[in-house]
Each structure stands twice: as C-alpha cells, then as structure tokens.
Structure 1
C-alpha cells in the first residue's frame, strides 16, 4: 500500500534533484555540450588567424592607391602579418578579368569592386558570405554578398579660373544654355551622370532621353569615362563637365581650380566590395572587406573622400564628412540605390541615354 510522502520529504527530494541537475549541467558545460558561445564574439579572431596563415590579401578597385593607403595602413596595424597588395583597375576591366579567371579556375585577387553598371554582372561572381558573422552592419550589406564601403557621388564641376561662381550652371536646365555650345561641356559618354533621372520621379526616364538629345545638340566634348572628364576640367580644356565629387575634393585640396556646380539632384552611386568565388586568399579577403566596413575602416577612408554616406539627402554629418559637406554646401540633393531592381532598370536605361547622346558605338 503506497502512502503519500510527508511535505518535508518532498522538499528534501526536490532539493536533491535540483542539486543533481546543477551538477549535470556543470559537467555538460565542461564536456562542451552546453549552450554554444556567441559566434560573433570569436569569428573575427578566428578569421584573423586563418587570414594570417594565408599571409596576404590582393585587392583590386578603381581608386588611386594613394586614396586607399590610409585604410591599408590601418588594416595592417590592426591585423599584423597580412600583406596587402593593391591594384587600381577600372570597374569594367575588373568584371572582364574576373569572368575570364573564374572560367579558367585561376582567380588572381581576393577583393573586388562593383558599382553602377558592374553590379549585375558581378552578382554571380561573388562568393557566398554571411557578413553578419563578421560584424558588418546590416544596412551595409547589399544583395547578400556585397558590402557597401563608400559612395561615389556624380556631380557637375567647373573650372574656377574659367567660370566665376556666379556664372556656374545652377541646374540641369542651365546646362542647356547656348553659352555652353561648341565643346564647352565635357561629358562622360556612357551617360551614367544621368542615373538620377531614372531614380527621381520628378525627372523621369522618358524626360531623360529628351534632355540627352538636347544636350547632344550643344556638341559637348565626350570622354570615355568620368576621370578623363575631370582631367579636362582641371586643365581648363573645358570649363564645365561631369565629374565625381571625390576627384573634385582631392584636387581642390591640392589647390586645383575646380569646384562643385550646384546642379542637382544627383546620384550618389554606391560602391560595393565582394570576395570573388575561387579567390586565392578567401579568409584575408573577408577580413579586409569587414574591416573597411567597420567604424575603424571608415575612419581611415573618410579623409580621402571615400566613406559611406546616407542613402538619400541628409546633411547632419556635413561637418565631419567632407563629401556630405561639399554636396550640402553646394545645395545638391542626392539619391542612392536601395534595391537590385534599380540596377536592372539602369541596364536598360543607359543604352537609351547613349543613343540619345549619340555615343552608342556598340
């Protein structure tokens, strides 16, 4: 015949089971079968050890090495034992080279760049990486495998020796004035300076084609890329033209006679880094990319005008970020890409713009 245990017995038995449970839990933890540690607390350290064993990271991007040097030096100081080999290579050439190398299974670099027209062809070339494991901010991860590291705002610039500030074009309409006729405008032939027309509903892609046709009637001086257009403006060969604010600010700091024209809105083209499939040093490639996205990496980039900026017009950081400060001082509003569908739109938009400009030679 079973009898109910007295309350005191039940309390003693419960206490014994609790104590036994604690012992079991402690033993389980000691044997490694307890709750796993936070992976984010160790992944960067683990990644560093893997990257250090690889010994080097090879980075290709369409930027002068002098602009990247502060970030490279900061990375090497934080992660000693990893050499950084940097090459300045134009974005279209990057896509072509990587496509050939991946087909041959002989990839020669670890960090690549994508932006504008090279985003879509780069999607399938990127290795799959969970960037959250390496503490990359979620708002800097794009299309899963790309990391937003700096913006390249497109602007119109003018030579201050040739054009007084009061006479500089102040709007898109001002650029169509007859005084700029006959090669006085230098224009990037690929038409990427018109990206914002496909982003801003107040402008519109249909209106863009009409605008490009009217601009073409001024017989501008066409250049293959924006860097060449910038050189023409600085030299005074053409007084006004399409440019990149990063180049304008860099040469301004050297005393060049160039300034941002208050023509807006504009596109603040985002630039992404990614680790290619088949890269020779994949751990080092991930480590460098994560570093450049971090606060420390951004601090090293900001003084060379290559940092992340807000997706749309926001002047709250104008005092500490020279790119934002220059855009806001000129009164230029900007838009950036937020969705892969926008890049798909651009792939159809730019050939039409080139056709309207008369520069479509393909």
Structure 2
C-alpha cells in the first residue's frame, strides 16, 4: 500500500541524506535532480516518495489533478496546500531561505513567475512534446496550465428565474441588494475593472456601485453565496466552482457574456526543492494529456496542448489578463477607482 511505501522510501531517503551530509529540516539543502533517461527521474521521484503542491485552484480541480497523478504514480504522495493571495509571499520567503515547503506552485498571476525567473527548474519531461508554444509564462520553466473565463454571470434561479444574458442586465434596479462583487484589488480584479471600464464604460461601474452590492474575498465564496441565496447574482466566477455546486444540486445557472474576460494561471517546479525529481514528474504530469484533462476537462478551462477532450476555448475577441502590466502604481490607481465606484 502507498503509506507503507512512503514510510519505506522516507527511511531510505533519510539514510541517503545522512550519508551525504544533508538535512531535511531547518533551512534544508536542495535535493539532487537526476540526469539521464526519464525512467531514472521517475525512479528517483518514487524514492523521494512525496511532492508538496501549493495551489490556488478550486477544490474540484485540485482533487481531480491529485487523484489522477496518484493513480499514475502510486508511489508518490501529493501533499496539497490550497490557498489564495497569501501564497506568493509565503513561497517568496521559502525561496529566499531555501526552506522546506512548496515543490510545485500554481498561482493565478503569471507575472509573479516572470519576476522570479531564477527560482525554477527546467521542464524536461516527455510531455514537452505537444505542449503549445503559447502556453509558457517563462519559456521552458513556467507553464500556463489553464485559462478560464472570469467574467461569468452566475445567478440563483429561485431569485432570478429569467436569468441574465447581457452586461446591462446585471445593473438593472431589480438587482439592488442582491449583487455580489469581489473586494481586495488584486491583479486579477484590477484587470477586470479595467476591462469593464474600457468595454462597458465607467457608467456601468458607477451603476454597479449604486446597487448596494455585497463584497466577497474570493469568487469561490461569492459563488457559494449565490448558491445559498445570500445574494442573487454575481458577474465573476470560475467554471469548476459553478459546475461543482451544480453537481451538488445548487439552484444556479451561469453564462459567459460577450465581451468576455479571461485569466491564465502559471505553474512551475521550484529549484530550492529537496524533492526535485518528484517536482519535475508532477509538473510534467500537469502538462500531459491526463493532467490537462484533470485540470481543464468537463468545460473547466482551456488546455495548454491540443486534443484534450472536454476543454473550452476563448472567443477570438476575448480579453486575456496581462498581469505583467500591473505595476504597484497601476494597482494603486485601480484601488482609487474601486473606492470611488463602490464606497
């Protein structure tokens, strides 16, 4: 069984670390990345026995990915840490101290990875073959494992049985007190506000602010609030969260309006890891057809390779967040606009 295997391999690794003068605690030293055939990398990963994955993906996608990986590599256990905007600072601290923590990191701001270019291992597995050239945040190191529509109208059918089709519908007076919006002006939200101002005009945002909206720290909690009837509609969500709640029987519907706004994730293996081989194997699996199906299948997102069943594609005129353009000064400007429109 897997747990027996993990204990056995952990013991073997402890002996190896002791013999080489390394330690697995404190500000632990890096492990050794195996060179040579991929089967040797996999064998070394199985000896490491585990991989630590920090992720901002919703629960459904994390579970699908972890389950698929552990089915493919039953000797490697995935230790998942799910978080949100607090994770980058945590990973940055680990990078500086070279301390134990994340081996692979997935985050909703590809520009964060561009600013940490020297912190990642090369992607060097067999899944490089067939990986799309435009699915890199940092060439050969940081992948874009998914892109998905962020501009989603999600409504509670019991509160709004007629639903929502156009952007103007979401600022109708009937929505007053029942609209959910994101708070905390992250890069993603700053981009979304700029998109709405450009495509719909500032007046649309002013109207939204006059509807006494309720604010939520994440699209997950906001979509859950729609499902429970705490609010009636939101204009931002994630396909996997919507589909998960629908599968649980929530009375919600969703649509992606035109024009639409999309977001990409970035993911990479950290070179400070003590488990470089399992990190490389996990990242390679994320790039594989099975990994991409787990993350993006069933309409969850757009894949980084062609031919993955059940994925979606953005419309040709869809706006994609360019997180690299959001400097601290630009975020501060977005904060000022947010306060003007919504407070």
Give the TM-score range, shorter chain. Answer: 0.7 to 0.9
CA distance in 2, matches of 1:122, 1:113: 13
Paired position in structure 2 for 1:294? 288
Give the conservation status (yes or no) of the 8 Å contact 2:114–2:138: no
- Indicate the RMSD between aligned Cα atoms, in angstroms: 3.5
Q: Which runs of 5+ in 2 are unaligned?
A: 1-35
Paired position in structure 2 for 1:29? none
Paired position in structure 2 for 1:109? 102
Aligned to 1:149, what secondary structure does the other structure show? coil
Change (3 A) 1:133 1:73: closer
CA distance in 2, matches of 1:46, 1:254: 42
Question: Please, which of 48, 51, 60 is the counterpart of residue 57 of structure 1?
Answer: 51
Paired position in structure 2 for 1:346? 326
Give the conservation status (yes or no) of the 8 Å contact 1:150–1:271: yes
1:59 Cα shift? 0.7
Paired position in structure 1 for 2:38? 44
CA distance in 1, matches of 2:295, 2:92: 28
1:126 Cα shift? 6.0
Give the conservation status (yes or no) of the 8 Å contact 2:292–2:304: no
1:193 Cα shift? 5.2
Higher mean C-alpha deviation, range 93-102 or range 125-134? 125-134
Q: How many residues align?
A: 299
Aligned to 1:249, what secondary structure does the other structure show? helix
1:80 Cα shift? 3.6
Give the conservation status (yes or no) of the 8 Å contact 1:216–1:358: no
Paired position in structure 2 for 1:254? 248
Paired position in structure 2 for 1:321? 310
1:349 Cα shift? 4.8
Q: TM-score, normalised by structure 1?
A: 0.70
Higher mean C-alpha deviation, range 143-152 or range 280-289? 143-152
Paired position in structure 1 for 2:336? 355
Paired position in structure 2 for 1:226? 219
Give the conservation status (yes or no) of the 8 Å contact 1:268–1:335: yes
1:150 Cα shift? 2.1
Give runs of aligned pairs for residues 1-362 of structure 1, distance below 5 A.
43-90=37-84, 92-116=85-109, 119-120=111-112, 123-124=115-116, 127-131=119-123, 134-136=126-128, 137=131, 138-144=133-139, 145-154=141-150, 155-165=152-162, 168-181=163-176, 183-190=177-184, 192=188, 195=191, 198=194, 204=198, 209-241=202-234, 242-303=236-297, 306-309=300-303, 320-321=309-310, 334-337=318-321, 342-347=322-327, 349-358=330-339
1:296 Cα shift? 1.9
CA distance in 1, matches of 2:311, 2:120: 33
CA distance in 2, matches of 1:107, 1:122: 22
The structure in which a higher percent of residues are helix is 1
Aligned to 2:237, what secondary structure does the other structure show? strand
Give the conservation status (yes or no) of the 8 Å contact 1:58–1:86: yes
1:229 Cα shift? 1.1
CA distance in 1, matches of 2:114, 2:138: 11
Q: TM-score, normalised by structure 2?
A: 0.74
Paired position in structure 2 for 1:18? none
1:92-150 CA distance string (max 9 Å, x none): 1111211222232213120111213x733663176343325543213322222211212
Change (3 A) 1:264 1:148: same
Give the conservation status (yes or no) of the 8 Å contact 1:212–1:357: no
Give the conservation status (yes or no) of the 8 Å contact 2:300–2:311: no
CA distance in 2, matches of 1:209, 1:310: 34
Change (3 A) 1:44 1:122: same
Change (3 A) 1:49 1:127: farther
